[in-house]
Amino acid sequence: MVLSEYISNLKIKVYGGNYTACPPSWAGSNVSLALHKLYFPLEGSAQITARGRTYHLKARQAMLIPKGLTHSFAMTEEQHLVKYWLHFTALSDGNDLFEHFHDITVWDFNDEKDFSEICGYFRTLFLYEDAVSDNEASIGNALAHQAALFSIIGILFERSGHNHMQELSMHSTKPASIVEYIENHLNEPIKVEELARLLYMHPTAFIRYFKHHFGMPPLKYIKCLRLERSKHYLETTSLPISEIAELTGFGDSSHLSRDFRSTYGISPGQARK
């Protein structure tokens, strides 16, 4: 696969994001998601810890936390943080665009022109995000939304050490079929055995294969994806929590509440406030 084909097949999917003034309670311990996280503070600071190292994230810095990386986050002593944030996947035929990003990466945007440019893309992205998610955007607005999203990712790649064609995996399409199947059946019970059958693999071999490609076992990936989709519904819709639990495969609100609180430190109802 040549680079042009890789890019034309690239799908960047947003699972949550916004412009947010974080409350003092903003914190999480030993979090691991099946999605990439991007933070871009405009004011204040935060501290993020992963693999024994603590990063002090400041205004005008972009931070990427790659999927599968266990990390903790919290406010600093000043208790002030205003940021753009984004939870997303970026796959081309199942190959992760960020597969070589194994640790937290931080980029500085001290130059006023560069800072204004990326802020403009974030504003455009979130201006149309709700309409795009609800399939209510015009074609022009949807294109502007996608252009902003790709521009943000493009700026980060341009500043990274992985900005060359040989850094990308452009071969297997198998992971794409697995991701598509999971996303299309997220509201149903999903067993490792049925995922393994899709690739004609023994379940034990499939678990090793999946962990190699996605950085975590399949059931953990599914749980993380369900939690992120639940969080997205809570923040963007007025659906009852019981209905959100059914839509995301938790079955009932008690299971959703238990896993949601364990991961995010708050209840689904608190996430909606």
Q: What is the pLDDT of residue 271?
A: 85
Measured between alpha carbons, how far is 72 from 181 in angstroms, rounded to an integer?
30
Measured between alpha carbons, how far is 226 from 231 in angstroms, rounded to an integer?
9
Nearest to 199 by CA among 226, 187, 215, 181: 181
The secondary structure element, H or E, covering residue 96 is: strand 95-96
Q: What is the pLDDT of residue 160?
A: 84
Q: What does pLDDT average to in each consecutive run of 10 residues of the chain (273 residues)? A: 76 92 92 92 96 95 94 94 95 82 94 96 93 86 95 92 55 68 91 89 88 86 90 88 93 92 88 77
Q: What is the pLDDT of residue 4?
A: 76
Q: What is the pLDDT of residue 168?
A: 55
How far CA 136 is from CA of 30, 126, 195, 235, 270, in Å, comes to: 37, 14, 33, 17, 27
Q: What is the pLDDT of residue 170?
A: 46
Taken in order 216, 173, 146, 129, the sign of the CA dihedral is negative
Question: Which amino acid belongs to residue 31?
Answer: V
How far CA 112 is from CA of 2, 125, 187, in Å, comes to: 35, 20, 45
Q: What is the pLDDT of residue 242?
A: 93
Q: Is the pTM of this model over 0.85?
A: no
